[in-house]
Every structure is written in structure tokens, then in C-alpha cells.
Amino acid sequence: MSTDYGWVADMMKKTVPWVATAGVEFTEVAADRVVCRLPDVEGQRNHVGGPHAAVMFGLAETASGAVGLASFAAELGRATPLVVTSEIRYRKLALGPLTAAAVLTRPAAEVIAELDAGTRPEFAVECTIRDAHGVTTAEMTVVWTLRPNKAKQEA
């Protein structure tokens, strides 16, 4: 499989309209790690002048989804990635532009082996949201599953 994951950002922007609408930028994309950036947009701020909590959540969830897309692209014909649970922990007041780094927490080969065995595997992606000074403002865990696609019945 190619190690060029430049297509992931384009795919995310085309298939998830919020990504393009919010202005999410992809600064690093690898199979097991994605870093996204979100510029500071006045219309996306909260009552204390920082990015709204929903925007922070969306940034991290987007980065986690891009990790899943990059890690399991070869499996998308037979399985659909879906979020199972998400938990976010806000640590510090966020101000200005943000980055979210998302990391796959287990080897993709283990997840694929479970899918091959006929199960519906789950995998966690750990996300760290930082402000422009590198200060961690939030941490998020997103648990995804690969739901096997139903076989198409022949007519």
C-alpha cells in the first residue's frame, strides 16, 4: 500500500461537509497519526472568546476519523467506520487557532485480523488539542468500529 496519504484530506473535505465549512486544515497525515489545524474564526467562539467546545470536539473527531480512513482505507469496501463513543476532557481555556493530533492506539493489523475473523472490531484514537503556544487545552478519546457491510443480494 502507498505511504502517500495526501488523498485523505481531500476525501474528508468531500465526504464530510463540516470539515470544509469549518476550515479544517490537514498538516500531517500518516496511517497512524493525523494532525489537523483550525484557524481562529470569530463566529465559532464561545462566551469567553475561545473556540466553542463543539468546534474543539469537531476538530478532534475529524482528526480521529482521518486516522481511521488512512489506517483502514483498504477495508472500506467491506466495512464502514463508525464512532462508538467519544469522551473529551477540557484542560485549559483555549484561545486562538488550534491543532488536534490524533493517534491510533493499537496496530491496524490487529483490527483487520478481528474483521477477518468475522467480528466487529473496535479501536481507539487518542486526540490532543493544543493552542498556538503548544499548550494542551483538551484531550479526547474516540472509539471507532469497523461495521462489516452487508453483502449485496443478487437480483
pLDDT of residue 133: 94
| Domains with residue ranges and CATH for the chain | 6-147 (3.10.129.10)
Residue 2 has pLDDT above 70, yes or no: no
Residues 74-102: what's their mean pLDDT?
Answer: 96
Burial of 46 (0-12, 13-18, 19+ CB in 10 A): middle
Strands, DSSP E only, in the chain? 25-29, 33-38, 79-90, 98-104, 122-131, 136-148
Cα(32)–Cα(16) distance, integer angstroms: 20
CB 54 within 8 A of CB 94: no
pTM of the model: 0.92
The helix/strand/coil state of 132 is: coil
pLDDT of residue 152: 58
DSSP state for residue 42 in the 8-state scheme: G
Instruction: Give the closest residue to 89 by CA, choosing from 136, 42, 123, 148.
Output: 136
CB 134 within 8 A of CB 100: no
CB 69 within 8 A of CB 137: no
pLDDT of residue 18: 92
Residues 79-90: what's their mean pLDDT?
Answer: 97
